[in-house]
């Protein structure tokens, strides 16, 4: 399954297991982030609905990009300015694509469904 997500003003096509370099995101290396702005999702040539779809990723590292030299000059005016810049980046590893909220809700419903059955099974044993 693949998804197109938007972060930092850019769009990325991702799949589970991919590593991408995005604009700086808050978080330490090893922490998990959720990218909620999913524009498109699909599997093969089939497209899927993106309502409530999220992409979870793990931060691998916070890094700096290549140095960019900014040089300004005006001819015949003795004006020269040299400046450098290194952009902050975050390296992400995509762990899963899916509706995380729906998965959590399903697990919670399963636990609630198991609990009353166990309680009903224990009640007759307590009476006997």
d(CA 76, CA 8): 40
Identify whether 19 is part of a domain: yes
Q: CA torsion 85→91→97→102, rounded to 10°?
A: -90
Would you place residue 35 in the very low, low, confident or very high pLDDT band (cuts 50, 70, 90)? Answer: very high
Would you place residue 100 in the very low, low, confident or very high pLDDT band (cuts 50, 70, 90)? Answer: low
Strand partners, 6: 11
3-state helix, strand, coil in the chain (%, to 5): 20, 55, 25
Per the structure, the complete domain to which residue 16 belongs is given by 2-100
List the helix and strand counts (H, then E) for the chain: 1, 8
Identify whether 81 is part of a domain: yes
pLDDT single digits (tens) 42-90: 998 899 888 999 999 999 999 999 999 999 999 999 999 999 999 999 9
Identify whether 29 is part of a domain: yes
Q: What is the pTM of this model?
A: 0.69
Identify whether 109 is part of a domain: no
Identify whether 126 is part of a domain: no
Question: pLDDT exceeding 70 applies to what percent of the chain?
Answer: 77
Identify whether 86 is part of a domain: yes
Task: Domain count for the chain, please give it.
Answer: 1
d(CA 38, CA 52): 9
Identify whether 91 is part of a domain: yes
Would you place residue 99 in the very low, low, confident or very high pLDDT band (cuts 50, 70, 90)? Answer: confident
Identify whether 21 is part of a domain: yes
């Amino acid at each position: 399954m693949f998804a197109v997500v938007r972060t930092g003003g850019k769009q990325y096509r991702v799949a589970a297991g991919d590593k991408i370099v995005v604009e700086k995101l808050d978080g330490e290396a090893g922490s998990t982030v959720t990218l909620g702005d999913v524009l498109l999702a699909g599997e093969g040539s089939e497209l899927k609905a993106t309502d409530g779809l999220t992409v979870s990723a793990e931060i691998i590292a916070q890094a700096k990009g290549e140095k960019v030299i900014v040089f300004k000059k005006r001819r015949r005016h003795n004006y020269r300015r040299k400046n450098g810049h290194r952009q902050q980046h975050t390296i992400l590893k995509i762990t899963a694509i899916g509706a995380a909220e729906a998965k959590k809700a399903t697990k919670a419903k399963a636990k609630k469904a198991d609990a009353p059955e166990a309680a009903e099974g224990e009640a007759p044993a307590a009476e006997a």
